[in-house]
Amino acid sequence: MHISMLPDAVQMEREAMLKSSVETLQRMGNAEFAVHDLAGYREPDELAIPILNVHLQPDIQARRPGLAGETLALVEVSTDLGEESCGRRWQALETWALQHDAQMMVFVHPEDQDRAQAIAKYWHVPAEYIVTLPRMH
């Protein structure tokens, strides 16, 4: 298992967002989950992104029983939204999702929604992928 080097507060925020994201995806009918760095779940698959020739691991892979497609999700804590790599990850994951009949979601806090939508616009990623999560504290 990968050992996170994030500061404790950021790691706790990320874990809370991962749990909330899984709950949201469960309410949408998903029942099978792989979640990056969250105890009790297997790790998501590493995806080979065509054209860009890179590998990317989503934060969450989810499946609905009996359906072919899957949902791939990224969870972005507030501090991640300031990194240029954030938009590149979204763009790469969207490329894979479009070619594999998968749904993509990016989970953020409500106060980060405008910033996330601006990032999506800049990187030509549909703003509909942005999903807000309630703060857990």
Place of tokens 């749990």: 19
Q: Please answer whether residues 116 and 91 qualify as being in contact, where contact means their C-beta atoms are separated by less than 8 angstroms.
A: no
Instruction: Go through the chain and tell me how many residues it has.
Output: 137
Query: For residue 87, is pLDDT > 70?
Result: yes
* H-assigned helices in the chain: 8-27, 84-99, 113-122
Average pLDDT (96-119) is: 94
pLDDT at 47: 94
**pTM to 2 decimals?**
0.89
The mean per-residue pLDDT over the stretch 5-18 comes to: 82
Please state which of the ranges 5-9, 28-32, 36-40 shows the lowest mean pLDDT.
Answer: 5-9
Rounded CA separation 20/14 (Å): 10
pLDDT over threshold 60, residue 2: no
Q: Taking 80 as the threshold, does the pLDDT of residue 5 lie above it?
A: no
Using DSSP's 3-state secondary structure scheme, residue 112 falls into helix
**Confidence at residue 137, expressed as pLDDT on a 0 to 100 scale:** 54
d(CA 3, CA 11): 11
% of the chain with per-residue pLDDT over 70: 93
Q: Which residue has the tokens 């993509």?
A: 104
Task: Name residue 107's amino acid.
Answer: F
